[in-house]
Each structure stands twice: as structure tokens, then as C-alpha cells.
A and B are shown apart, each in its own frame.
Chain A
Amino acid sequence: MTGSLILRTSARLLLVTCVLLSVFILVRGHNEPGGGFIGGLIGALGVIVYALAHGRARTLRMLRADPKSMLGVGLLLALASGALPPLLGISPLLTHQWGDLVLGPVALPLGTTLLFDIGVYLTVAGFALAVVLPFAEE
């Protein structure tokens, strides 16, 4: 327990806001300003403020995932999103594919670019957390 009561309470609120905002920014990124890179930074920012207020151990417990694993999963996801076409012999590496996800009356246009962007998000957030969290107090 490190921060003051005000910091600890606002950090919790900030965490939720930042993570939700970052996901929103990630998803809208393909058509409006945003994307995985910015989203990852904003998400990490919320977690870091939380860690400054509540300490590292508690933050890591809350995250449930080691930042290094986030990083690794992100890299693998980004690679995997583009590796399928060449493995199937359709097209070169990182040629994205699109299709519509039909849920009853709604057709949601989706592409492997989103997977790639989620990979970028996880990598950037994992990077920021792996570098900064060691500075947060126990």
C-alpha cells in the first residue's frame, strides 16, 4: 500500500477508464484516429498509475498475466494474423483477409488487420509495463 487514499481511489477509476478507452481506440482505429499503438499506450498508462498507487505485487496479481507474456502473445498474434495466407499458399506474408461476420440480421465487417492491431496493442502495452513496473514500489 503506497499511495494516498485519494490516489488509490482515483487510480482505480482511471484504470477502468483508460482500459475501456484504449479498447475503444483500438477498435475504431481503422477508420478514425486511433489504433493498437495508441491504445496500448493508453491502456498501459492506466495500469501504471494503478501500480504507483497500489504497488507492483498487487498490480501483477490484478493483471493475471506477466507483461513479458503479454508481449510474447502480442508478437505471436501479429505474426499469426499474417502467416495464414502464405501457409495456405494464397498470397505473401501479411496480406490481410476480410470477410463479414453474419450474426442474424447484422453483418459485421471484420479483417485479420484487427488481429494484427490487437497484437500491436498487447506488445506495446507489454513493453511499457515491463519497462515501468519494476520502478513501482512493492
Chain B
Amino acid sequence: MPDPGLIILVALASVPLLVAAVATAPRAAGWIAAAVPALLFVGFLAAAPAPGEQALGALPWLPSLGVALAWRLDGLSLLFALLITGIGALIFLYAGAYLRGHPQIDRFFGAIALFMAAMLGAVLADDLVMLVVFWELTSLSSFLLIGFEGGRSSARRAAVQGLLVTVGGGLALLAGALLLGGIAGTYRISEIAARAAEFAAHPWAPLVVALIVVGAFAKSAQAPLHSWLPNAMAAPTPVSAYLHSATMVKLGVYLLARLNPVFGGMPLWVELLTGFGALTMVVGAVLALRETDLKRVLAYSTVVGLGTLVALIGQEDPLAATAAIAFLIVHALYKACLFLVAGIVDHETGMRDASRLRGLARAMPLTATVAALGALSMAGLPPFVGFVAKELLYEANLLAAGMLPAAALVANTVTVIAAGVVAARPFFGRPAPTPRPAHDPGFAMLAGPTLLAALGLLFGLLPGLLGRVLVEPAAAAILGRPTEAKLVLWHGFTVVFWLSVATIGAGLAGYLAWHRMQPLLAGVELFDRYGPDAQYGRALRGLQRLAAWQTRAIQSGSLRRYLALSFLALMLPVGAAMVAGDGLRWPGLDPLPLAHEVGLVALVAAGALVACLARNLITAIMGVALVGFGAGVLFLVLGAPDLAFTQFSVETLAVVLLVAVLARLPFRGTDPRSRGQRVADAGVALLTGVVGGAVLLAALAMPFDTTIPAWMGENAAPAAHGRNVVNVIIVDFRALDTLGEITVLGLAALAAYAVLRRREVRGP
């Protein structure tokens, strides 16, 4: 039985190999790439625990922080792992044909394989920190995939929007996860669940719930954070099918389901999930009716589906958990299928406008058949599995109070309309001309949607099997206790059945009226002008204006102003803190300074005065050099030869550099500042000197703790094999500090190089 933790590592390790393989054999890319998720799928089947059981394991990661690479394979994570790898295999195969001949096909498969590995890590994680890390990795790979066609500005905007929204939510999640782990005393999700009652009583519990819910809502496109999802349709269609309908957007739902045993008893949790879930259902439904682009219609119907899932998880009845899992599977099957169909239509005809595509069934009979099968499941007609799920949905929502039953009715009706618009309308009627002559695609592109549609039918005919093997263990994980999930196709003539009939009737009527209703709704400018997408744009423009303003205010380009601002920003708070905190101290003069020390200090002071008063720049440089070398000699006298050594080298370098620069620049021998500027600069300099001096004096007045220097002195030779304590500190005792410092040096050199190089680039 393979170790699930090992499967994640294999998935991660396969990414660079896959890129190399695709780069060598781009024509076979789909087949090569599909082998990876297919193998992982088999691995998960082999690793699957018996229904109702779970497998736990961990690798040490940051033991000192209590963080581990801990994984858990139970009903819920197994279901997600199978969806991710199973649908992944079909979509990788499809993408190989969809992107045939694309010059960057290797980059595409690298990003999507990285995404798959990240997704597996996130759903298998039993450690909150590990979950957040992989969660962010899915956002990053999603950014790369949405922006894959980065030449188009819409793709760039959509990629940035998706990243900002999901990573912003990820920050909230990180804060929530750290607080949750801190309160519970462990980051293991499986252990936290056991302390749910304890946690609910904690005063910070509402804050934790709110933070985690925000993270999940951003990822799962809940209103009002939904608008990034339809815009993400700028990605190639396999990405839309994989990330933005079947897997990644369900990660938020997964997290809510995973943490439901912890938070489920809290009223805030129930209110947030059912409230925003219902809102999302209605918002998505209305917006779906405004679109004509096949992919955007599907995207808004995905928003509806995500709202449905969130609302179901928020309900406390066990039936809701069963309904949530059943709908999650069904939605993944039909939505991935229909996205792939939309991709085929786009690929083979050159357009995807539902209002202009007509009569494709004659030219693409196979595609039309697959589309019809997928659409029937989406519309929830028997004997497809969509019908089973919809019956469960209504049953669960009828138990809930408030807006939910009405929202469910609206959502399901619009789902029927959307299914018709995407999968029926383009294929029937009189054929309309298309940019490219329509025809059925090859095997690689048809295999995925066909299999997904066939599964929709198969599970509809065998709902009991689906319920026992997949739904029941996953629903038990949501509830945190065993449950029984009886999925049946035929319930009899119940209220729920008549609701289904009413939904399909209303949906059919809506579908027939769609070509008149859509332009009316699309004409309402209110949505475009004040919707969250417009607000996002406004916020981003505001941010840019703020950035431009503060850049103009601070980055004036004048070196003198930079220095003045830097010194003021440093010295004003320090000075204020010292005065306010009563930190001014005067050290005793014991022992009294020796005569040559006083003389050296006088020399340094003289150099400083010369630098301040000199009108000639070379004289001023000499004054500064006198200060530097004087300080170096002072170090030497006071018994710090290493410091003196460094001071001399740096000072020499500075003088050489200044002379070299002065030789190159149009040389102005004298100080060009006006009198007012000189006075202002003197003020800044005086403040800097006084505050700096006060800090040094106060530090000297503090009693000196000799424990650490004494320890270092004693241990340098025996433990670190060096007699020069300063150097031992630099390279050994505090080597990490040194590594950090030289890294900063490296970055500074690169920045300086970039600035100084510009001149050369602009040359002829």
C-alpha cells in the first residue's frame, strides 16, 4: 500500500521531469502528461483506507514550532484526491491536443502539474501550516495559468485579480490558522476537532471563524468576492475546466467541510455559511443570465454551485452533508465535461458566443451527443446522477429556514437554463456560419468529456454504489461522526419530486425566453458600474494613485532630499522616544580619557567641521576622510584592531570612489546650495548628531553585561578553533547573521548594477 505522503512527493517531483519530457516530445505532450495523474489516481486507489477508516502519517518539518508534514487520508481527502487525479488525467490528455503546436506547451504543463501537486498537498494536509502553504501554491500556479496568454491585457488583469483576491484571502486564512493552532495548542486538524467544545468557548473563536471563512470564501468565489472567477476564463479552456470549476475553487469548500467538525456548533459559522451561500447562489444565477460567452455562462453557474455547496455545509442536518458531497461529485463531473465541450466548440469553430452559434449538431454529432448527456445531468433530469443530487439538495434545503429554499429554487432553475444555453442552443436550429468550418475533434479531446458524461449516467443508474463508496465516508468527515447516505434515483411522488418538475418546467420556459431575456439583463448597467468587479478596478486605480502620489512625495530624485528624509524618519522617532521615555543618561567619566584619545577626538571633530564649512567639494571630501581615518585610529587605540582594519579599508575605498565619480561628473568645484538650503541641511545634521550622540551616551551609561562576551572569549579557541574572537563571531557564532548581511550586499550590488547600467542600455 503506497504511503499518501509519498504520493504528494512523487507528484511534486514529477513536475520538472514532465516539463523536460514535454519539451522533448511536444506532439505527445497530452499522453505523457496524462500518465502522471493516471498513475497517482491508481496510487490513491491502492492507498485508500476501508470506508469509514482513515490513515494518518507525518514527516517532521519544523518540530520546534510543532509543524509537521502531516497527512490524513479519509473519505473527504480521498474523494478530492480521486477527483483531482482522475479529472486531471482526462484534462491533461485533452490539453495536449488543445494546445498542440503552442510554443510554450512545456511551460503550460509545468504550471498545471505543479498546481495538481499543490492541490493534492492541500487536501491531504492534516497540518494547518502545511495546508496554508499548499493552498498558496495553488493560488500561485493558478496565477501562472490564468496569465498563460500574457500577451493579452485581459489575461494579465484577470491573473492579477485572481491572485490578489485568493492570496488576500490566503493571508486571512494564515492568520486564522495560526490563531486556531495557538488556541488549540496543536496544528493537527484531526486533534483540533477533538477539542471543538473547548475552542467554541474561547473569546477569540469568532475572530478565528471570520478569518478562516474569509480565506475560504475568496478561494471559492463567494459573493461579493466572486468576480475573479468569471474573469479567470481568460485562461485556456482546460485550465477553466480543471482549476476554475472542478478542483481549485472547491478548495475553499473543502476547507469549510474539513473544519466543520471544529466550528459546526457555532451559530456564527452557520449564519455566515448559509447567508453568504444563499447570496452567492442568487447573485451567480442573475449574472449567469446576462452572459453569452459559453465559458462565462458556465463560470457563473459554477459560482451558483459553489454557493450551494457552502450553504449546505453550513447546515447542521446530516442530510445536508450527504447532499453537499453528492452535489460536489456531480458538479465536478458535469461541469468539467461541459467546459471541455465549450473548449471543443471554441477550438473547432473559432467562436464561443451562445447567441450566434447554431446548428452545430450536423457538423459535430459526437460533440453534440456528449454535450447533451452532460447538460441532462446538469439540468437534473432522471436517470442522470444530477437528478439524484438535486433531489437531495431540495430535501436538505427544505429543512432549512429563511431564504435558502427560495435561493435553491432560483439557483436550480438558472442551472437548467444555463445547461440549455451552453449545451443545447449551439447545437440545434439552422446552422450559422462560423469562423472555422466546424467538425468533431480527435480522440484525445473527446475522450475526457465522453467519459465524464458516461460517469454521470452510470452513477445515476447505480446511486447506491456512489453513496456507499464515496459519499458516505466523505459526509462522515464533514460531520465528524459516522453517517448513513442512502442515494436513490426514485423517491416517489414527494414534495421534492414536484419541486424538481417545477424547476425543469421553469428552466425550460426560461431557456426558450433566453434570447429575449439575456439582452435585457445585459443592458442593465447597474451591475457593470457598481458590481464588485468595478469596485475592484476602482480600488486598484486608487491604490495606484496613492502609490504615484507617495512616490512623487518621497522619491523626488534629489539625493539631498532622500538623505534628509531618511535621517528625519530615523532620528525623529528615536529622539521622541528617548525624551518621552525618559531615556537620557549621562555616563560617568571613569576612567578619565587619556590625552592622546582626547587629541584623536579633537581631530575627528575638526574633520567634521571642515566638511561642514568647506565651500570646495574636494576640501569637504578630505574633511570627511579625516573623520573616517580618525575614527579608525581611535578604534585601534581602544583595542579593536579588526574594526580599525575594516574602517581603514572602507574609508580608502570611499575616497577612491568619490574621486573617481568626481572625475567623471561635470565638475562643480563649489557648493551650489542656497543659504536657506544650507540652514535646513544644518538642522537635519544637527538633529542627527544630537540624537545619535544621546543614544550612544545612554548606551554607555547602561551597566555592561559581560556574560556573552565572556562566553565567546572562553569558547572561541576550544570550541571554534580560532583565537580571533571577532572573526569567530563573524564566521561561526553568528554565521547566520553574516550570511544575511552578505546576501544584502549581493542584492544591493544587483540594484546598483541595474541603476548604473541604464545609461549603457539607452546608448546608441
Contact = CB atoms under 8 A, between A and B. Distances in A.
The answer to whether A and B interact is yes
Interface of A: 25, 29-38, 41-42, 44-45, 48-49, 52, 67-68, 71-72, 74-75, 78-79, 82, 93-94, 96, 98, 109, 111, 113, 116-117, 119-120, 123-124, 126-128, 130-132, 134-137
A123 B747 CA distance: 11
A70 B721 CA distance: 28
Residue of A33, A78, A93, A116 most packed against chain B (CB within 10 A): A33
Given A75-B742, A98-B721, A128 B653 contact: yes
Contacts of A78: 738-739, 742
Contact of A30 (B661, B724, B739): B724
A111 B646 contact: no
The 3 closest A-B pairs by CB, nearest first: A41-B649, A33-B641, A134-B756
Contacts, number: 138
Interface of B: 641-642, 645-646, 649-650, 652-653, 656-657, 660-661, 664, 720-724, 726-728, 730-732, 735-736, 738-739, 742-743, 745-746, 748-750, 752-753, 756-757
A62 B443 CA distance: 61
A124 B660 CA distance: 20
A132 B660 contact: yes
Contact of A123 (B646, B745, B757): B745
Nearest to A123: B742
8 contacts: A38-B646, A68-B750, A74-B742, A74-B746, A75-B743, A113-B732, A124-B742, A135-B657
Given A34-B642, A74-B742, A135-B664, A44 B749 contact: no
A113 B746 contact: no
Given A35-B731, A74-B742, A127-B746, 4 more contacts: A109-B721, A123-B746, A127-B745, A132-B660
A71 B731 CA distance: 17
A94 B742 CA distance: 15
Contact of B749 (A36, A52, A67, A137): A67
B720 A75 contact: no
Nearest to A135: B660
Given A78-B742, A113-B720, A132-B660, A29 B727 contact: yes
Contacts of B750: 68, 130
Nearest to B641: A33
A68 B664 CA distance: 23
B244 to A, nearest CB: 39
Nearest to B748: A127
Contacts of B723: 30-32
A112 B646 CA distance: 23
Contacts of B724: 29-35
Contact of A120 (B641, B664, B720, B731): B731
B463 to A, nearest CB: 52
B758 to A, nearest CB: 10
A136 B659 CA distance: 11
A66 B723 CA distance: 34
A57 to B, nearest CB: 12
Contacts of B645: 25, 33-34, 38
A71 B739 contact: no
A32 B642 CA distance: 9
A30 B736 contact: no
Contact of B730 (A44, A120, A132): A120
A79 B720 CA distance: 18
Contacts of A30: 721-724, 727-728, 731
Nearest to B658: A135
Contacts of A124: 742, 745
A71 B749 contact: yes
Contacts of A75: 742-743, 746
Given A41-B649, A98-B721, A117 B731 contact: yes
B749 A45 contact: no
A32 B728 CA distance: 11
Contacts of A98: 721
B397 to A, nearest CB: 54
B661 A116 contact: no
A82 B757 CA distance: 34
Nearest to A75: B746
Contacts of B727: 29-30, 34-35, 117
Contacts of B748: 127, 131
Given A128-B653, A135-B660, A41 B739 contact: no
A68 B660 contact: no
Contact of B649 (A29, A38, A74, A117): A38
Given A130-B752, A130-B753, A42 B649 contact: yes
Contacts of B726: 33, 35
Contacts of B757: 134
A129 to B, nearest CB: 9
A2 to B, nearest CB: 10
Given A37-B646, A94-B736, A48 B653 contact: yes
Residue of A29, A68, A72 most packed against chain B (CB within 10 A): A29
